[in-house]
Structures are given as C-alpha cells and as structure tokens.
Structure 1
Amino acid sequence: MNKILLSLFLAAVSLSSYAQHFITDPNFRQKVETAFQAKMKVIGKKFYNTKGLRVSPEEEEALRFLYAYMPIADATDYPTAYHLKNIRTALRTRKSMAWGKDVPELLFRHFVLPMRVNNEPLDSSRAIFYRELSERVKGLPMKEAILEVNHWCHERVTYEPSDARTSSPLQSIRTGRGRCGEESTFTVAALRSIGIPARQVYTPRWAHTDDNHAWVEAWADGKWYFIGACEPEPVLNLAWFNEPASRAMLMHTRAFGDYEGPEEVMLRTNNFTEINLIDNYGSTSKIDFKIVDKDGKPADNAKVDFKIYNYAEFYTAVSKYTGEDGTTFLSAGKGDMIVWASKDEQFGFAKATFGKDKSITIKLEYNEKNVPKEADLDIVPPAQNSTLPAVTKAQRDENTRRLTYEDSIRHAYIATFPTTESMKDYRYPEATSYIVKARGNWKTIKAFVEKYANQQERAIQLLSTLSDKDLRDMPMEILEDNMKAKSSQLSPRVESEMILTPFKQFFEKAFAKEAASFRKNPALLVDWIKKNIRMNPDSRAMRIPQTPRSVWESRITDSRSRDIFFVDVARSLGIEARMDFVAWKIQYKQDGKWVDVDFDAAAQQTAKTGKLVLTFTPDGFLDDPKYYSHFSISKIVCGQTWLMNFDEGQVDMGGGATWSNTFKNGATLDEGTYILVTGQRMADGSVLAHSRFFQIEPDKTTTLPLDIRQESEGVKVIGSFNSEDLFDKDGQSVSILSQTGRGYYVLGVLGIGQEPTNHALHDIEKMKDKLDKWGRPFVLLFKNEAEAKKFQAQKGEFPNLPEKTIFGIDKDGTIQQEIAKEMKLRNTEQLPIFIIADTFNRIVFLSQGYTIGLGEQLVKTSSKL
C-alpha cells in the first residue's frame, strides 16, 4: 500500500509540474528561451520587468514566449504588466470556457494568446470582450459560438472604406464602422477573448479586380472555418466573397512566433510565420523557381517578390528568399503573376502561369543602367470555382431578422453622434465639421475646442492637420500636448503610425540645450540620431512603428520608426519637417528649401530631379487616365520596385492624380530608373498591361507616351432578358420597358449593406457625368421592402448616382432568377448583379459580385453602343 501511495504521490507531483508549463515540449521551450535571450540583448532587460507582479511559472513561460517574438514596438511601448494582464485573461479563458480543454496547445499559443492581430494599437479589449461574450455564448457548441460572436460584432461595427491605418478593436466600436482590415482585427480579438483560436486571413490583392480584402478564420472541433467579419451568415464557410476568393492568387495569415503547423510556410521571421492558405479557397498549383546570377550560378538569399496586377501596378503580394541552391517555390491560384527576383542591385523577372508552368529560372541580368525593353503583358486571373454550403430558407430568414435587429442597435448608438443639422447653432461654427467627423470621439473634440476657445485659431489649425480617422480616435492628452507645445508645427502625424503617447513637450525639454543649434542646422539632428539611435539588426523584423518616446528610451529602432522619430523631434523643436509620400522619404526645410534626409550620407542634400511628361490622346471612352486605376510609376532601388505614391483622392469617391492634372505638363521626380506600368481591366477580370522602363536625368525632361492598351473587339450579345418583366415601384407593379423607354438601360439587383454593393454604387457615382451624358436609365432593385427601407436610411452615403436612376423592388426574386438562369450563373444569390440590356431583350454586359471599377466598365461598354 505504501508503494502505491508513493507512486500516486510521485505521479501527482509529476502532473503538477507538467501543468506548470505553458509550453510542454522541452525542445520548443528551449527554442523560445533562446529567442527570448536574443531579444533581451537587442532591447535591454529593463523592458522586461516582472518585479512585484507575482508571476507564476506558467505565466512566466507565456510572457517569455510573447517577448521572444513580439515586435520591438510592443516590448518598448507597452509595460510588462500590460502583457501579463492579457496572458492571465487568456489562461483564465482556457479554464472557464467549455472548449478550453479541447483547443490544442499549438493553436492556443499562436492564435489565442497573442493580442496583436495586424498592425493595430494594442488595447484593453480582451478583458472587456470576455465580460461581454462569455455569458452570451455559454452552453453553445464552438461552431455556434463563432456565429454568435460574429452577430455581436455586427451589432457594433459595419463596413466603411477609410485610410490604411488600422484602428484598435475598441476604437472600431467607438466609431461604429471600419474597413475590412479593422472589422477582421476586431472579430479576431473578440473570438480570442473567449478562447476560440482565430486568425485574420487576407488576400494581399485580388487577381480579378482591384483592391484587397481581409476576413477571419476560426477553429472549432478540429477544423478551421471562415466567416466574413461583422457580416454574419447562417452557417460557417459562407460569405459574399466565396466566389472572389476562389479566383484569388494568394491567401495569407501571419501566425505569431515560430509556428510549426501543417500549412505551407511562405516566410519565417523572428516575429511571425507567414503561412499560405490558398488551398482552403480555390484550385491551386505549385511552381519551383531557380534564381541565377548573370553568370548562371545559383543566387542564394535572393529576394523573390511575387507580384499580382492590381491598381495599375504589379503589387508584391508575398516575398520569399532563396536557399543556398538559389531555389524557392510557391503554391498559388491558377492564374498569372509577375515574379521579380533581386540581389545586390541586380534584378530579373518573368511571368508565371500557375497551373501551366512547373519550373521557371530567372536570371539576375538587369540593373539600373541596363533595363529590359518595353513589353505587352496579358494577365489572366484564376477561373471562378467555389462550392457554397447549403442554407435553408428558415435559416436565411432568421439571419435576416437578426441582421435587421442588430442594425437597429448600431444605428441607435450612431444616432447619438452630432450631425451638421444638430450642430447648426453651435457657438464655434469653425469647429462643427471636426466634431461631426469625430463620430464616437465627438465629446473629446468638442471638449478640446471649448477648453481652448481663447486660442481658437491654433486649436482649429491643429484639428485641420488630422484625418477623419484621427478625429475619431485622438485622445485629449495628445491634442493638449500639441496645443501647449511651443512649436508652430502642430501636426502630430507623420504617416500612418500609431500615436499613443504625448511627445512634443517632452522633446522640448529633452533637447533644450541642442534646440537652437538644431533649428539653425537640422543636419545636426540627423547626426545626433545616427550617433545615439541603434538600428535593429534584424532586417526582416515586423515594422510596427514605435512611439517617438520609446525610440528615445530604448535607443533602438528600425528605419521606419527612425524616420518618424526624426520628423516628430524636428517638429517639436519648431523645425518644419515632413514625409514626402510620393518618394516615401523624409525632409526638413532649411532656407526655404526642402532637404532630403539620408542617414547613410556624410552630408544632407536635396536629390537632383528631372521632369516626366506623359503624352496621351483622349478617346471616346478614356479622356483622363487615373493614377492607380490606369497607370503607376515605380522607382528601381537596389534592384527592387518602390511605388511612387501620388495623391489618390478621397477613399472610394474619386479625385486624386490623373494624367491631365499631374503628368500632362510634367511631374518632378528624383533622378534614377523607373518603370511605368499601364493596364486596362476587362470585364472578365483579365488585364491588358504594358511595362516601360525609363530614366530621369537631372534638370532634363523625359517625355513618354502613356500607352494604355484597349480591347479591340466591339460589344457582343452575351444573353437575353425580358424587358417586360415586372417590379414593384412605389407600391405599383410596372414593367422595365414602361420605365426605361426604348433602347439600352442598366439593371442592377443590389445587396444592401454588403461591401460589394457599396463599392459598386460608389464606382457608379465616380462616373456620373459620363453616364448622365449617355442618358440611359438605371433601374436599381432591392430584394425586398426591408432592404429598400434600409437603403433609404443610408441613402445619404450615395448622393451622386446617375440622374435617371429608378428604384424598385424585385419582390419575388423573379428578375434575379431570370438573369441567373439566362446567364448560367453558378451562384444565383451573389449580389450585386448588373447588366446592360436593351428593349429587344439583348444583354451586352454582365457583372456579378465584387468588382472594383464597375462604373468605368459601364462607361466603356456604353461608349461602344
């Protein structure tokens, strides 16, 4: 008996010891410890401070795991206590939620524990979301819990396009809206808060149309499922993007840390493991690549950029590096990419057709002085190939009912925001627009305006430097720091960095002795940074920007954060400084001239420049090509491409750089080698592209034709549709013909509140003038009366639809069903659907689902009729 008791005691001790480990595999635990010690050598042990926190062995291992792989910004901008608090919440969730015991350690470690999802500011959402959601999902199976969490997310956030900076989950709740990257960040945070493994999945760029998208995968009962973030469906693996996703070339996610899962690894860094998920969504194929130098020898550690045509550039969707034998590989959707390899300022590229090519060799035969000739490139995206899960009518009806109720909850919250009408009598009218734009942050902006009413000119000037998104999440302490600082350089923002802590008054004091000499000669500030701030030796590190205060305190950073730090310090001392977004370089002003900052140069100077003039002859369809839509320019730097970022205008609403306003009379560019890419997207998603390399020489003008390839064939009849079909208009049943009269018309069936429909309507608005000139009617149909009312509530979002727009309801879905049947659509429910047809029942144009540039496609087709 004593032996049995002793044996049980030893077993209990062993089990207790085992339970103390966050990482049970001793080999991986040692790997993490090695990475942790390496990180401490880089940032310094003062940023890992557990004194007085009473950390358990399990918590200590989890902390060290996070610190081993987190970006430097997360280690230096957030205290150890912050990270520990989130670890404790996650570990509690693991024990309190019914599925906690079923989540594998691997998935918990990489897809539950980490707070960071993308490049958002970290916040306190985990504990808050746990309190909100744990009771709501209590008793539900995991798959049902995932759906329920998405309904909760939809109550609080809906889609709205905005700039590229990612709001935190709590900031998204405050404003009630977010772009897809913010919705998915928010939803992943919500799922992780209750212990469900979740990851943000994104296609870096669509292959069949412009733009990109992000959504969520969540794990349940041994399998990963996808959902549209804040866009609840009745079942998993169903979203508006099923069809577009089947046409994508690549799907990524970044697993925190050194992830050893079953998926194909595309890139492994000291912060994350980028894995390829394309096989979850479409038909794929693999190509082996060999990179050789100009002598034909294998090029090891060559960078290989896989580029998808999107927004008139070949966008780097993923980068890999060759091994010692000069090889790498990629699995992707069965379409075309440009594969660009570079090393030591040499480069080479080739078109790769996945599904056809098996192996490709690329020679690094070019450099900035020796470039390829111009070339036409036909780019074909993958074909559509998706299978939709079954949904019953009862499921669909219940989901629709819930969506309507959830919309009402969110609308009730948004209704508390000030409007231009409610603020019409405000005593500080100059501030009204800023308060309205601030949405859920309006009280902060209003309080700021009123607190500094006696300095209103400076207060308004400060607010004018902020973007709409800044107004929505800028805290009072940042506003006051800039307001009270002595500097006349009021803007707190350099680019899309996170602004977490005040810094201007801090740097006034920190550089009090040097300020006068720095103002007289800003190059001395450059020298100070070169001498005092170390660069992170990890060139592949995730570049989450540090706050300027943490750069100062840690004295280590990356090139992005260093550039932001320079501009922020300079402005704090009254030196005019900025980020030049066209060439993506920082500058300071001295003696009335902008000087480029080069931390590798012995002296600072302004780059030599020349001019680029593009010639173009307008035609009936394309009068003024748009930058990003029809052409783009990239500089060749060290054998790699760097896009020139000209003004893109208001997101989703046009404007921005065009041929006539920027390049017709000449645009100034730094000397160097560039590539001009042009393209025309066809209705089937393919692209007629053209590339041309050119040189900009100092004080000289380079004149080039802006060649945009056009489809040579005319309009074809592609189907039939009965123009006598009936729809409901103002309670009356009317025929399409009775509303349009004889001739061509556009017919659209809309999915109200869905991202594809929002994009489509905004794209049509951009082309209003041309469509009004065409003069034919637009018949836009809702699926039911509820959606018609929903559109009326948000009609103000689409103020510039064509003049001859007629609204109605396709009550029984008759029109949608007929189009689907006649055009043999695989997915009869995917919206929006647009056709151009005539009253002789001929269809000459069809678009279904997510398409960027729909307005242009309608104009292009109408110009040929």
Structure 2
Amino acid sequence: MKRILLSLLLATVSFTAYAQHFITDTAFRQKVENAFHAKMKLIGMKFYDTHGLRVSPEEEEALHFLYAYMPIADATDYPTAYHLNNVRTALRTRTAMAWGKTVPELLFRHFVLPMRVNNEPLDSSRAVFYRELSGRVKGLSMKDAILEVNHWCHERVTYEPSDARTSSPLQSIRTGRGRCGEESTFTVAALRSIGIPARQVYTPRWAHTDDNHAWVEAWADGKWYFIGACEPEAVLNLAWFNEPASRAMLMHTRAFGDYEGPEEVMLRTSNFTEINLIDNYGSTARIDFKIVDREGKPVDDARVDFKIYNYAEFYTAASKYTDRKGETFLSAGKGDMIVWASKDNQFGYAKASFGKDKSVTIRLLYNEKNIPRETDMDIVPPAQNAALPSVTKAQREENARRLAYEDSVRHAYIATFPTEETMKNYRYPAATPYIIKARGNWKTIKAFVEKYAGRQERALRLLSTLSDKDLRDMPMDILEDNMNARSSQLCPRVESEMILAPYKRFFEKVFAKDSARFRKNPALLVEWIRKNIRMNPDGQAMRIPQTPTSVWKSRITDWRSRDIFFVDVARSLDIEARMDAVTAKIQYRQGGKWVDVDFESEAQQTAKTGRLVLSFRPDGFLDDPKYYSHFTISKIVNGRTWLMTFDEGQLDMGGGATWSNTFRNGSTLDEGTYLLVTGQRMADGSVLAHSRFFRIEPGKTTTLPLDIRQESEGVKVIGSFNSEDLFEKDGGNVSILSQTGRGYYVLGILGVGQEPTNHALHDIEKMKDKLDKWGRPFVLLFKDETEARKFQTQKGEFPNLPRKTIFGIDKDGSIQKEIAREMKLHNAGQLPVFIIADTFNRIVFLSQGYTIGLGEQLVKTSSRL
C-alpha cells in the first residue's frame, strides 16, 4: 500500500512539474497563442514540427512564444529541433544556476530565452557557452558573474573594425576579432547562456563624433548594469565610453517579442519592442511633436524619423508613428536633431533642440516636385556629464593583470594562424593571401584550395569575390556549391546577408526546364517571382534575410529577401545580376546594359538618368572633400531619404569616394529629387551643416556648388601649459621644450590598446602627409613603462604616424594632471588627451576621449596657426 501511495505521489509531482506554465499570465499567454497561430497561418505548419521530440507543456509554451515573434527567416531556415534544444538549455539555467529562481519571468522571457541578439546567424553557442561558463561562475554573485563572463569573452575576442555584416558568436571566437556589434552580440549570448538577462545596447550614431557603438546591459539583483563587451573593467557601469555616452542623443535596445516593461517604447513591431534607454546614461528631455498637413490638419500614422548628424548625413536613429491626433513624442539627450516627417509622398522637417524646445509642429509642405530651399544649420550635441563609479588602486591593478593574461591567451590562439612567414614555401602561392586572411577558418580555405588544385583558376576567382569576413567564416559546403555549379557567376554574396546554406546547384535543378528561357529573357524570372512568391503583408517586420532555398520552399518572404533571392537564382542560372552598390537597386544585365528590376511592373526597363557635377575650390586645409566625412547625397523616395552608398573604401585604410574622383567631372544619378548634406565637425563636437535639395532631370547635367561651411573665427588661446615639464625618454628625464624646439607642438597622453586611442592614432595616420608638411613634433606619452612595452607589441598597427613623433612616459602622471587642472577637465582620467600648444605655454586646441576625425581637426587648427 505504501509503495502504491509513493508511486501516486511521485506521479503527481511529476505531472505538476510537467504541466508547469512558461507564461503564467493567462491574458499574455493567450496573446502569444494568437500570435503563434497567425504566424503558422502565414508560413505554414510544416515549419513547426515537434513530431518525436517529446515536448513538455512548458517547453511548448516557450517554443510558441519564440515562433510567435521570430522573423520568418528564423522559422524557415532553422528546424524546430534546433529551437527546442535552445529552449531546453535556457530552461535548465533556472535550476542549475544559483540565481535562476530570482530572475523575473518577464526578463527571462525577453532577455534570456531568445537566441537572436541582432542580425547575426544563429548557431549552437548557447550549449557551448553553458558548458564553458557554468562551472567558471559557480559560487559567484550575479554581479561578479557578469564581470567574470566579460573576462572570459576578452580571452577570446578583441576589437577590430570590419564590414557591417554581423558574425555569429562562434564565428567571432574562431577569428578572435570583432567590431563592437559583434563583441556585444557575443557577450550577450554568453551571459544569456548561464541565465543572466542581457541585451545589446546601441547608440545608433554618436552626436558629438562620427561613429556609432554597441555594448551590453546585464541584469543583476533587481537592476540593469552596463559593461563594455570584451572590455572588462574592475566594476560594473564603467567603460571607456562613460563620457561619450553622456553626450549621446539616443540609446536603444530591441526586446524580443511584445515586451511590457517600464522603459519608454519607441517602436513596437510583430517581432520586437524597441525601447529607449537614454535615461540610463545622460541628462535627457522630452519634446512633443505634432504633424499637420498644408491646411494645418493633424496627420495620423505619419512616419517621424529622428535624425542625428553623423558621417555627413542626417542619419535616422529612430522612427515613430503619429497617433490619431497627429502626435508623438521622444525623450533624448539635450542636443539637436533633425526631425523628418512623411506620409503619402509628402514631407517636412525641422531642427529640434532637446532641453530647449517643449513642442515642435512639422507641416508636410513638400514633395518630390516642390522642394525646400537650401539651409544652414548649426547642430549642437549634448554636453558631457558622466557619473563614474569608484575603483580602488588595487582593483585597477588586479584588472590590468587579468587583462594582460587574457591577451596572452588570445594571442597564443591567434599565433596558430598562418602568416606570410609560415606560408612562404606553400606550393600554391597565389592562394596564400586568402588563407592568411581566413584567420581561424584557414584550414577550410586551405583544404578547398588543395582539393581543387586541378581547377585553380576557378577556385581563386571564387575566393577573390569574398570579403575578408567571408573568408573567415565561409564553410566548405558553400564554397563547393559555388565551385561545382555550372554558372560562371561565382560570387555567392548579394549584400550583407547571411550565407547559411548552398543554393546554386539546387536552383539549377528546380529551374532546369525554365533556365534557357530565363537566360534569354530575365524579365521572365521577375515575372515568376511576382506570381509565385508571396510578400509578408507586415511592412514593419524584422527583415532578417532568408536563405534563397527557404524562400523557394516557403513561398513567402519580405522585399529584402526577395531581392536577394532574385539575384541568387539569376546567378545560379548564369544570368549576370547584382544589387547596385550605390542605389541598392536590383538589376540584371541584358544587351550590354543593366536593367532595373521592378516586381510591381510587368515591363522591366533601365532608369532614366542625368548627371551631377559638384564644384569646389580647395582652400589649403580641405583639398578634396570626402564622401561620408564632408558630404553625402540622399534620394527622396515616397517622402523619405535614402542614402546613396558610394564607395567608402577600406575601414581605417582610407580610399573611397571623394569630390575629385566621383563628382568633379560628374556622376550619373537616376532622375528624381535629392538632398545634398555637407558639414564640418568642430573640435567641441558641434557641426556647421548645410542642406540643399535638387532635381536630376533625364539627359541633363545639374551643376551645384559643394558648400562646406568653415569656422569664421581665428584660433583662440583656450588655456596654458608649461612646456618645461619633464617626461621620461630613453631612461632619463627631458623637458618638452628640449624635444620640440621653439614653436607649436602636439602633445598626446595615450590609453594603449583602448578603442578611443586606436581611433585617434589611425585618424592621425590618415593625415600624415599634411602633418609632416606642417613639420611640428608630436610628443606621445604613455602612462607607465607597462603601457610603453605593450605599445611596442602593437606598434605595427600604427606604421604611418607623423615623421616627427617622439615617444615618452608621463611616469608620475604630472603632465596629464596639469592638463586636466588647467583645462578643467570633467574626468581627468579619460584618455586619450591631445593638445596643440606652443613654447610660450599657450594651448590652442584640446581633444579628450573618443572622437572621430582627430587628424582633420589637428590639420585644420595647424593650417590657421
């Protein structure tokens, strides 16, 4: 009898655990079920297959939540078993980790369970990271666990600029490098793997300098904290970007699903809830906006784009839609934005000053035929106002010790990558550069080269179409698919999409009967897609690109994946097709001409074009304005701006479109209305901007002046500094004056290995010729001997510093302290610090912390001395 009762009791306990709800709120659970069934109706139940997977009710609710809100690509490109394995690994953290039961359901649901962080490929990192980290953080508090995870991340990945495509977390580990978006994606994935709520935070663009940044917020014991991803500090809420973040206009994150948290909602879509986090970082203010038509009547559902001046364009950092009263609002840092409203091809815009304006009304007065007049605008960023947590000397020293060890771990791994030296006797020397660039993926590329040594010309042509990042993560099956396809169109990439699965030989087979007629007339392929591929009716859905094979299988997609699908299928059938690099138009080549693809039209045709010539007179400081640095051009389409993405060159390597190589003799543009934006960034972060609207008419040349506003006042003395101060050089103490001689000089205090210092030195390198022509010395000082030695190991990263560069050590920090004292710097420890001073002890230029374009600012100031 006792045995029977015990069995019944165990069965009851087992059933209770088995029947546990993942979502305890009945109303929200029903909302999720409704969204899940709507998604299944859209894509088909064949993409949700739990047959034989033995799914518990709790797991099924979690799966339904994920499928309800995931992008179509995640549902059609990854099997249900993949998503279920990740659900099970996530749920395990609730019992296996000490803090598992303390994480609120809301945060677990939106910031632990989801695999997707941004637009990266999904991988098996959750299970891998759990095995690596669960033991490492055992016994730690949540706060200490966050710090420890970040140290682990630093062992494996460090910063390196690259293209905009986001690698997966495991791909980042393989290459040992990542830009900030990849570092933060990787770190969020690591934290979530052990059940700590985490989210990627973006400032879409800085307000005070040309760039953007991403980092991580993690939740512990009732509060969100921030960290620099793969940049561990001794305490939370401390990073090199504390000061820049206090000057930002916007910070946001995307919470997976329909999130109902305490933060201000900026945008709610069928996939995510975009929330505003700016209040966590700086002083903010709210402005209420009202959008009206020509007659002053409210415009409902108008799109309102909040634009920050950055990289010489008014970049849309956030978008909202008006309510029935034509109203919306935004909280942002206390600086200036351009607010652009549009609906039904009508648009209007205004400058909004947060902290000064309380309300702004924008009238939709303009369209593509009726355009605004040219305008000067002074754009002012928020003032610096950061709060820094306290860190003891012992904490700093211990953190520095750990960083050095972690660097050694990562360097030991990177040392296993091939180099020119280790590959000098390789029997296929033409392939050597591709193998070296492949970093952690070098074995794959090497095996590919050797497997197809008998067809080396085609193999090398295929590799030549790949970016450096593609070489680092391209798997063998995709290389072989392109290698062995019949098509001569070898490039597997259309834009920045994820290439997850082979497709060329697949489309050879499925379109075998149609391939000949499609090649003869590619417009028939456009027609086939228009008739057979449905478009997702949700225009605000997240556009994660589907693989072309899943587009074919599901027969539903969005416009981005449709465009990629067309190019991939066309190339598979040996039709020359592309996405135009400047306009992002989809095109195929026929009769020696590129034909624009229009899926809404039965007739395909080449757009009518005109030419744009920009006139500019070099002024000694600015000889050849750069696209993205001094000017940009956007087309007005349906009342919104679309940037023309001319070549930007290699990141941190120069090159790219300029006035002289692209616009002096004229550049071809499609007919239509355009916006030319120019700007000059000042040392304090403000911008002298100018906007000019213009028309391109078919067959005609439009000539416009490239007006770049300059500061009208001369150089001012802004502080004092003793040129007799001493620093250590070659083991002895020398004065600044003894090294520079009489006259002006540049003095910099460096933070070795820190991202702001790396940017500053690269910017100075870009202006080496002009700075050498100026001929004045650069005194670059390290904080101590350890930093000086560390820089020696990295010196190869900065081979083009000015000729008269002098290195030394500010051993007791006295020079840094004097600059901070005399210039009344808010944060004396923020690096790098650069000044231009003279031997009469006058400072005429100051830059501190993170800024882009430092080299240009130094040249501009020096040209006026």
| TM-score normalised according to structure 2 size | 0.98
Q: Which residue of 2 aligns with 1:479?
A: 479
Q: Which residue of 1 aligns with 2:855?
A: 855
What is the CA deviation profile of residues 834-861 of structure 1, one whole-angstrom value per residue up to 9, with x for unaligned ones? 1111111111111000000000000000
In structure 2, C-alpha distance between the alignment counterparts of 1:737 and 1:418, rounded to whole Å: 46
The 3-state SS of whatever aligns with 2:88 is helix
Relative to structure 1, is the Cα distance of residues 295 and 15 closer, same or farther in structure 2, using a 3 angstrom cutoff? Answer: farther
In structure 2, C-alpha distance between the alignment counterparts of 1:182 and 1:79, rounded to whole Å: 24
In structure 2, C-alpha distance between the alignment counterparts of 1:565 and 1:680, rounded to whole Å: 40
Q: Which residue of 1 aligns with 2:22?
A: 22
Q: Which residue of 2 aligns with 1:524?
A: 524
Question: For the aligned residues, what is the CA RMSD?
Answer: 1.5
Q: Which residue of 1 aligns with 2:681?
A: 681
In structure 2, C-alpha distance between the alignment counterparts of 1:70 and 1:860, rounded to whole Å: 49
In structure 1, C-alpha distance between the alignment counterparts of 2:182 and 2:45, rounded to whole Å: 33
**1:17 Cα deviation from its structure 2 partner:** 6.8
Relative to structure 1, is the Cα distance of residues 19 and 95 closer, same or farther in structure 2, using a 3 angstrom cutoff? Answer: farther
In structure 1, C-alpha distance between the alignment counterparts of 2:541 and 2:593, rounded to whole Å: 34
Q: Which residue of 2 aligns with 1:764?
A: 764
Q: Which residue of 2 aligns with 1:203?
A: 203
What is the CA deviation profile of residues 216-245 of structure 1, one whole-angstrom value per residue up to 9, with x for unaligned ones? 000000000000000000000000000000
Structure 2 unaligned blocks of 5 or more = none
**1:570 Cα deviation from its structure 2 partner:** 0.4
In structure 1, C-alpha distance between the alignment counterparts of 2:604 and 2:578, rounded to whole Å: 15
Q: Which residue of 1 aligns with 2:47?
A: 47
**1:785 Cα deviation from its structure 2 partner:** 1.7
**1:12 Cα deviation from its structure 2 partner:** 7.6
In structure 1, C-alpha distance between the alignment counterparts of 2:728 and 2:405, rounded to whole Å: 25
Q: Which residue of 2 aligns with 1:810?
A: 810
The 3-state SS of whatever aligns with 2:136 is coil
Q: Counterpart amino acid of 2:509?
A: K
**1:19 Cα deviation from its structure 2 partner:** 6.1
Q: Which residue of 1 aligns with 2:467?
A: 467
The 3-state SS of whatever aligns with 1:794 is helix
Q: Which residue of 1 aligns with 2:744?
A: 744
Q: Counterpart amino acid of 2:151?
A: H
Does residue 593 of the first structure (1) align with residue 597 of the second (2)? no
Does residue 494 of the first structure (1) align with residue 503 of the second (2)? no
Q: Counterpart amino acid of 2:744?
A: Y
Conserved 8 A contact 1:18-1:24: no
Does residue 542 of the first structure (1) align with residue 542 of the second (2)? yes
Conserved 8 A contact 1:653-1:763: no
> Which structure 2 residues correspond to residues 350-361 of structure 1 after superposition, within 5 A?
350-361=350-361
> Which structure 2 residues correspond to residues 766-785 of structure 1 after superposition, within 5 A?
766-785=766-785
Q: Counterpart amino acid of 1:629?
A: S
In structure 2, C-alpha distance between the alignment counterparts of 1:549 and 1:798, rounded to whole Å: 44
Conserved 8 A contact 1:831-1:849: yes
| TM-score normalised according to structure 1 size | 0.98
In structure 2, C-alpha distance between the alignment counterparts of 1:15 and 1:54, rounded to whole Å: 14
The 3-state SS of whatever aligns with 2:830 is coil
In structure 1, C-alpha distance between the alignment counterparts of 2:482 and 2:90, rounded to whole Å: 37
Q: Which residue of 2 aligns with 1:319?
A: 319
The 3-state SS of whatever aligns with 1:135 is coil
Q: Which residue of 1 aligns with 2:510?
A: 510
In structure 2, C-alpha distance between the alignment counterparts of 1:598 and 1:791, rounded to whole Å: 54
**1:732 Cα deviation from its structure 2 partner:** 2.3
Q: Counterpart amino acid of 2:511?
A: F
What is the CA deviation profile of residues 174-233 of structure 1, one whole-angstrom value per residue up to 9, with x for unaligned ones? 110100000000000000000000000010000001110000000000000000000000
Range with bigger deviation, 734-743 or 64-73: 734-743
Q: Which residue of 2 aligns with 1:714?
A: 714
Does residue 343 of the first structure (1) align with residue 343 of the second (2)? yes
Range with bigger deviation, 291-300 or 112-121: 291-300
What is the CA deviation profile of residues 73-111 of structure 1, one whole-angstrom value per residue up to 9, with x for unaligned ones? 000000000000000000001110000000000000000
What is the CA deviation profile of residues 2-44 of structure 1, one whole-angstrom value per residue up to 9, with x for unaligned ones? xxx9xx9999879937961000000000000000001001111
In structure 2, C-alpha distance between the alignment counterparts of 1:641 and 1:838, rounded to whole Å: 46
What is the CA deviation profile of residues 334-355 of structure 1, one whole-angstrom value per residue up to 9, with x for unaligned ones? 0000110000000011110101
Give me the identity figure in percent.
86
Q: Counterpart amino acid of 1:205?
A: R
In structure 2, C-alpha distance between the alignment counterparts of 1:231 and 1:12, rounded to whole Å: 49
**1:788 Cα deviation from its structure 2 partner:** 1.6
The 3-state SS of whatever aligns with 1:50 is coil
Q: Which residue of 2 aligns with 1:334?
A: 334
> Which structure 2 residues correspond to residues 562-601 of structure 1 after superposition, within 5 A?
562-601=562-601
Q: Which residue of 2 aligns with 1:67?
A: 67
Q: Which residue of 1 aligns with 2:655?
A: 655
Conserved 8 A contact 1:216-1:229: yes
What is the CA deviation profile of residues 457-508 of structure 1, one whole-angstrom value per residue up to 9, with x for unaligned ones? 1111101000000011011111111000111100000000000000011111
The 3-state SS of whatever aligns with 2:426 is coil
Point out 4+ residue stretches in structure 1 off by more than 3 angstroms: 8-15
Conserved 8 A contact 2:765-2:802: yes
**1:295 Cα deviation from its structure 2 partner:** 2.0
Q: Counterpart amino acid of 2:802?
A: P
Q: Counterpart amino acid of 2:344?
A: D
The 3-state SS of whatever aligns with 1:611 is strand
Conserved 8 A contact 1:201-1:252: yes
In structure 1, C-alpha distance between the alignment counterparts of 2:377 and 2:168, rounded to whole Å: 40
Q: Counterpart amino acid of 1:389?
A: P
Q: Counterpart amino acid of 1:690?
A: H
Conserved 8 A contact 2:71-2:271: yes
The 3-state SS of whatever aligns with 1:462 is helix
In structure 2, C-alpha distance between the alignment counterparts of 1:61 and 1:814, rounded to whole Å: 61
Relative to structure 1, is the Cα distance of residues 482 and 604 closer, same or farther in structure 2, using a 3 angstrom cutoff? Answer: same
Conserved 8 A contact 2:583-2:645: yes
Does residue 222 of the first structure (1) align with residue 222 of the second (2)? yes
What is the CA deviation profile of residues 616-648 of structure 1, one whole-angstrom value per residue up to 9, with x for unaligned ones? 000021000000000000000000000000000
In structure 1, C-alpha distance between the alignment counterparts of 2:457 and 2:547, rounded to whole Å: 28
Q: Which residue of 1 aligns with 2:285?
A: 285
In structure 2, C-alpha distance between the alignment counterparts of 1:316 and 1:664, rounded to whole Å: 28
Conserved 8 A contact 1:95-1:101: yes
**1:602 Cα deviation from its structure 2 partner:** 2.0
Q: Which residue of 1 aligns with 2:457?
A: 457
**1:786 Cα deviation from its structure 2 partner:** 1.7
Relative to structure 1, is the Cα distance of residues 11 and 483 closer, same or farther in structure 2, using a 3 angstrom cutoff? Answer: closer
Does residue 243 of the first structure (1) align with residue 249 of the second (2)? no
Q: Which residue of 2 aligns with 1:557?
A: 557
In structure 1, C-alpha distance between the alignment counterparts of 2:544 and 2:576, rounded to whole Å: 25
In structure 1, C-alpha distance between the alignment counterparts of 2:70 and 2:286, rounded to whole Å: 31
In structure 2, C-alpha distance between the alignment counterparts of 1:423 and 1:744, rounded to whole Å: 47
Q: Counterpart amino acid of 1:340?
A: W
In structure 1, C-alpha distance between the alignment counterparts of 2:32 and 2:240, rounded to whole Å: 40
What is the CA deviation profile of residues 318-366 of structure 1, one whole-angstrom value per residue up to 9, with x for unaligned ones? 0001111111100000000011000000001111010111111111111
In structure 2, C-alpha distance between the alignment counterparts of 1:852 and 1:277, rounded to whole Å: 24
Relative to structure 1, is the Cα distance of residues 285 and 12 closer, same or farther in structure 2, using a 3 angstrom cutoff? Answer: farther
Q: Counterpart amino acid of 1:679?
A: G
In structure 1, C-alpha distance between the alignment counterparts of 2:524 and 2:790, rounded to whole Å: 59
Q: Counterpart amino acid of 2:679?
A: G
**1:805 Cα deviation from its structure 2 partner:** 1.1
In structure 2, C-alpha distance between the alignment counterparts of 1:756 and 1:118, rounded to whole Å: 24
The 3-state SS of whatever aligns with 2:164 is coil
In structure 2, C-alpha distance between the alignment counterparts of 1:90 and 1:709, rounded to whole Å: 54
In structure 2, C-alpha distance between the alignment counterparts of 1:614 and 1:376, rounded to whole Å: 18
Q: Which residue of 2 aligns with 1:303?
A: 303
The 3-state SS of whatever aligns with 1:512 is coil
Does residue 791 of the first structure (1) align with residue 791 of the second (2)? yes
Q: Which residue of 2 aligns with 1:56?
A: 56
Does residue 445 of the first structure (1) align with residue 453 of the second (2)? no
In structure 2, C-alpha distance between the alignment counterparts of 1:835 and 1:585, rounded to whole Å: 46
**1:735 Cα deviation from its structure 2 partner:** 1.6
What is the CA deviation profile of residues 359-386 of structure 1, one whole-angstrom value per residue up to 9, with x for unaligned ones? 1111111100001100001100001011
Q: Which residue of 1 aligns with 2:78?
A: 78
May I ask how many residue pairs the two structures share in their alignment?
860
The 3-state SS of whatever aligns with 2:505 is helix
> Which structure 2 residues correspond to residues 687-726 of structure 1 after superposition, within 5 A?
687-726=687-726
